[in-house]
Amino acid sequence: MINISVLGYGTVGSGVVEVLNKNRDSIKKRAGQEINVKYVLDLRDFKGDPIEDKIVHDYSIIANDPDVRIVVETMGGVNPAYEFVKEALLNGKSVCTSNKELVAKHGAELLEIAKQGKVNFLFEASVGGGIPIIRPLNQSLTADEIEEITGILNGTTNYILTKMSYEGCQYEVALKEAQEKGYAEKNPQADVEGFDACRKIAILTSLAYGMQVDHEDIYTEGITKITDVDIAYAKSIGAVIKIFGTSKKVGDKVFAMIAPMMIKSDNPLYSVNDVYNAIFVKGNLLGNVMFYGAGAGKLPTASAVVSDVVDATKHLGTNIMTIWSSKKLVLADINEMEQRFFVRIPNAQKDKVKDVFGEVEGVAAGIEGEYGFITNTLTEREYKKKVNGFTVRSMIRVGF
Amino acid sequence: MINISVLGYGTVGSGVVEVLNKNRDSIKKRAGQEINVKYVLDLRDFKGDPIEDKIVHDYSIIANDPDVRIVVETMGGVNPAYEFVKEALLNGKSVCTSNKELVAKHGAELLEIAKQGKVNFLFEASVGGGIPIIRPLNQSLTADEIEEITGILNGTTNYILTKMSYEGCQYEVALKEAQEKGYAEKNPQADVEGFDACRKIAILTSLAYGMQVDHEDIYTEGITKITDVDIAYAKSIGAVIKIFGTSKKVGDKVFAMIAPMMIKSDNPLYSVNDVYNAIFVKGNLLGNVMFYGAGAGKLPTASAVVSDVVDATKHLGTNIMTIWSSKKLVLADINEMEQRFFVRIPNAQKDKVKDVFGEVEGVAAGIEGEYGFITNTLTEREYKKKVNGFTVRSMIRVGF
């Protein structure tokens, strides 16, 4: 039997206890021994809850108990999670976390501490909820050089965009419904502005290239400006609008961004709808692979955390090497990134388009008084230069 | 530096050497040390090939060289692969293989030998080519009880069905094109009759339930009877026909089969086209996940083999536990499996349908002289009983 402790008895933390109880037998078989929750750290008491007797309010009880071999951190936020996790690792305990803020900011340092102490710092649930992506990236795609990672990394925004696309409703209506269903927070900023997805692509990119990618360096554009008119244009050419977190290696440069993209059905991410997430990875020899599943939710996320607990149990005393040095990966200037751009302008400016952009692909969605078109492949810098002088009603990058 | 040897310098074997050369630096970083090919076993000499000096014709040179820590088996077929792999494991070498016949037949035994000898027997490339599925199933989905695995596991048949669906051509025409492109063998039986997919679902099901599933026990139906008329019916209701390898746990029973299925766009496997493969897994807590990518091809398959070599290098002296006992899993009688059935009968028999099947869903594809319909949910046994007395022109199981 191995003793673990859970920090934070919120949605994911209580989910971890539920998963361990529900699948006790099969988990024991997989881990090679029974997994027992010894303590649960929370500020609250949870009177009457089956875990009531395990609740502690003082982290030092867990940190200083040598019986506790694995700590599950599901509190979220950088502090005090960072201090707690660091102390656990330094005290010879493995840590499994679902906390993307913590991993994005301190992943490299915590992995190094784990390596030194022959314990493990695992974070499968920090990206893509229940989708196995961290472990495949670390352990399965090891023969390849990663050329691209593109993901639908946030279920809330994917739900909103799916609603807008398939029911024709406006952003505000779709957001309200997402909030009513519990998919979006009251303050939805972290999701709709792309900040959540930004931390996730920072983690994936750091792992892909083995260096620290600071999420603050990643160009981030949310979905708040997408309207039903944009969706109508997309629809008229059989396209949909998704928000992607993406990083691409072009020569020696690594570009990364979060931004809405217009894609067609030849893109494997096209039919990833509702709150589902998916991550597409392109290897230089492997070609395209994609991982799809529930990107959030109590039990899928908790299931991913528990899979880490099983892995940590199987690797007691051995560090599972993860290459992520604290050396900073300087991202390339987004202005040098090349793609096509969908642009809406007033009809009156249509005649100038050919002179400035050359031959473009017109998009007719029957919107009165305006003209929509898709440019040829341009760098962001070229696009910005050319579009200067036009009254741009909206611009969405194009993935075809 | 670690020395490995490659058994069989055919498509996958030469691909392994190519992957190791091409991504030498990144593989070294991931594995923690350089990977050197010391010998290549083949009957041929490969005069002028860069590996000419490494060619040996006598396996005992490899088996008895203690410098060789990992053996890559890419010969295919059960014999002599089985004898070679067993000897390597017994001599303290880890083995990485792409050989599905070998794994399906002797996986349990070879895993047990590896465990006893503290070495590893890895076979990521045996299912789904470059798609990471074996390792995720073993190491990532460990918190869940697997309720279903359904995969498009054979690229050749998926290519043929995609061609038939999107270009309206007949089976023979699509097969011929697949052969011309090198996707199908001259003798395509193993693919088109479902035997290849059968071995793959046997491996996945064995891993999911930790017991031996014998591929001979799995009901297997190929695609040779699918016609353009069936495709036309499917199209008329927005469905496509795919061939699935599937295993499902219903209560204590595990059903497994290979068969063509009619599915609609709400199924994540709907848009998996051409030679791509994908594997859908349903966990009791995780819900649905799907893994997608190139299911075959020299470099994707070799990339998966090399990822196993990296893993074996990182785990020298430690067995990565894989639960697959030699105890036989007795599959449930397929006659008790429940689903809906699409059926084509002569128009003259249409009037009897309601009496026998109750309310059904008519499918109108404009085919003269016949009637197509989809039954309610029935067991195979009930279906067979009811359909007795009708002249069935074709029957395809329905996944919606």
Per-residue pLDDT tens digits for B23-57: 999 999 999 999 999 999 999 999 999 999 999 99
Distance CA B194, CA B216 (A): 12
Say which amino acid occupies A236.
S
- Mean pLDDT across B352-362: 96
Backbone φ and ψ for A146, nearest 5 degrees, come out as -80, 125
With a threshold of 0.90, does the pTM exceed it? yes
pLDDT at B26: 95
pLDDT at A266: 86
Are residues A293 and B289, on separate chains, in Cβ contact within 8 Å?
yes
Nearest Cβ partner for A323 among B29, B145, B305: B29
Radius of gyration of chain A (CA): 23
Chain B residues with CB under 8 Å of A30 CB are 142-143, 323
Distance CA B212, CA A235 (A): 49
Distance CA B63, CA B16 (A): 19
User: H/E/C letters for each residue in A322-362?
Assistant: CCCCCCECCCCCHHHCEEEEEEEEEHHHHHHHHHHHCCCEE
Are residues A142 and B265, on separate chains, in Cβ contact within 8 Å?
no
Per-residue pLDDT tens digits for B116-127: 999 999 999 999
For A290, name the nearest residue in chain B, comparing CA atoms only. Answer: B292
Count of CB atoms within 10 A of residue A100's CB?
23
CA distance A26 to chain B (A): 7
pLDDT > 90 in chain B, percent:
96
- Mean pLDDT across A179-194: 94
Chain B residues with CB under 8 Å of A130 CB are 283, 286-287, 289
Nearest Cβ partner for A132 among B289, B292, B318: B289
Per-residue pLDDT tens digits for B295-346: 889 999 999 999 999 999 999 999 998 889 999 999 999 999 999 999 999 9
ipTM exceeding the 0.90 mark: yes
- Which residues are paired to B219 by β-bridges? B257
Q: Which domains does chain B have, with CATH numbers?
A: 2-126+298-314 (3.40.50.720), 136-294 (3.30.360.10), 337-398 (3.30.70.120)
- Which residues are paired to B152 by β-bridges? B278
Element (H, E) at B18: helix B11-22
Chain B residues with CB under 8 Å of A265 CB are 271
- Mean pLDDT across B285-302: 95
The residues, ordered by sequence, that sit 6+ positions from A216 with a Cβ below 8 Å of its Cβ are none
Chain B residues with CB under 8 Å of A293 CB are 286-290
The SS3 of residue B203 is: helix
Confidence of residue A322 (pLDDT cuts 50, 70, 90): confident
Distance CA A97, CA A305 (A): 7
Are residues A23 and B294, on separate chains, in Cβ contact within 8 Å?
no
Pairs across A and B, CB distance < 8 A: 178
Q: Which of B99, B159, B154 is nearest to B124 (CA)?
A: B99
Nearest Cβ partner for A130 among B124, B289, B302: B289
Distance CA A61, CA B155 (A): 55
